[in-house]
Amino acid sequence: MTNFTPTERTKVRRKPDRGSYDRELIYRILDEAFVCHLGFVVDGQPFVVPTNYVRVGDKPISSNTSAAAAGPPCVRRASRS
């Protein structure tokens, strides 16, 4: 598989030596979890909602339809405790 091409929006900035753009690695991480945090902004107010998701191809599909309707989301996989 190929790597994802980083953009200004997706570029790893904090501890970039620990980041990866390897598509296969990212898919394995996403497929292992089922909870992520969906961040979005409505009228200048940021919100972050924990939600379930599934990956279909390159796209994560969220179960939180009201959050998804707010606009382009920022998805972060929930870290393990």
* Whole-number pLDDT of residue 69: 54
pTM of the model: 0.63
Q: Indicate the SS3 state at residue 29.
A: helix
* Whole-number pLDDT of residue 49: 85
The low-confidence residues of the chain, meaning pLDDT below 70, are: 64-81
* Whole-number pLDDT of residue 65: 54
* Whole-number pLDDT of residue 8: 93
* Whole-number pLDDT of residue 40: 84
* Whole-number pLDDT of residue 64: 60
Token pair for 60: 């994560």
The residue type at 58: D
Q: Indicate the SS3 state at residue 68.
A: helix
